[in-house]
Amino acid sequence: MKTKIIIFSLIIFAASSLQAQEKSDVNISFGSDLASSYVWRGFQQGTMPAVQPWGELSYKGFTLGTWGSYELGGTNKEIDIYAKYTYSNFSLQFIDLFFPGYVGLNQDFFNFKNSETGHAAELALSFNGSETIPFSVYGGMIVYGAAIDPKVTDMSKTNKSSYFEINYLGEAKDLNYTIFAGFTPSESALYATTEFSFINVGFSVKKAIKITDQFSVPLKLTVASNPNAKKLFLAMVASF
């Protein structure tokens, strides 16, 4: 099964430069990234490179999409399904996260009973920046599933972990860069914090590498730290 998943991901990886032509107001697009390692909100998900396919169906301001991460030679996997509505520079998003093979989580994808499910769901609102405001802001809260965990200081109570991130969006010659700072406002077992803490601080740089006159590969280099955990990460992502 693991081999089939990797082969399927590689097929998507090879075909990912294709994009369905827009018909009326409906657009279908898909692609894939190849990451040297998968770093999420100040935490490294595995130690091996990962193939990360994605696909989206959009209609005007509505988007239904899926994203996955499959660690090559490793055991870490993730399948996300999300719905998003964008109006002007703002987006409202609901995302369901599922982790196949994760020890301790229910592996029945169709089990959504809150006390048993292996799913986790986050509701988020973001400001995406504009030409005159080079900042984006993201705020999300876990509202359902396995990531609603006991409070660190009181195991009899549950905790709906929250995450906020502020990004400065800039350009320099042929580069786009982002300076970001992500934090949790309170204790969280999910993010391993006991109080307000910065957990994801760093910067990323994007550049398109020209392969031929008609084909370029976007590269993204990220340097991120988790001050709370005293960790530093370096990751490269190629998009196709």
Give the tens place of pLDDT for each residue, 23-68: 568 899 999 999 999 999 999 998 899 999 999 999 999 999 999 9
Q: What is the pLDDT of residue 24?
A: 67
d(CA 162, CA 47): 26
DSSP category for residue 22: P
96-116 confidence digits (pLDDT tens): 999 887 777 888 899 888 778
Taken in order 188, 189, 194, 196, the sign of the CA dihedral is negative
Question: What percentage of residues in the chain have a pLDDT greater than 90?
Answer: 56
Report the pLDDT value the prediction gives residue 112, as an integer from 0 to 100: 87
Q: Where are the beta strands (DSSP E) in the chain?
A: 26-35, 39-40, 43-44, 50-59, 62-71, 77-87, 90-98, 119-127, 135-145, 149-150, 158-159, 162-172, 175-184, 197-210, 216-226, 231-239
Residue 131: how many CB atoms within 10 A of its CB? Answer: 6
Task: Give the fold, CATH level 3, of 2-239.
Answer: Porin (2.40.160)
Domain ranges of the chain: 2-239
pTM value is: 0.81
Please say if the pLDDT value at position 16 is more than 50.
no
For residues 68 and 186, give the distance between their C-alpha atoms in angstroms, rounded to a whole number.
29
Which span out of 6-10, 51-55, 105-109, 141-145 was modeled with the highest average pLDDT? 51-55
pLDDT-based confidence at residue 234 (cuts at 50, 70, 90) = very high
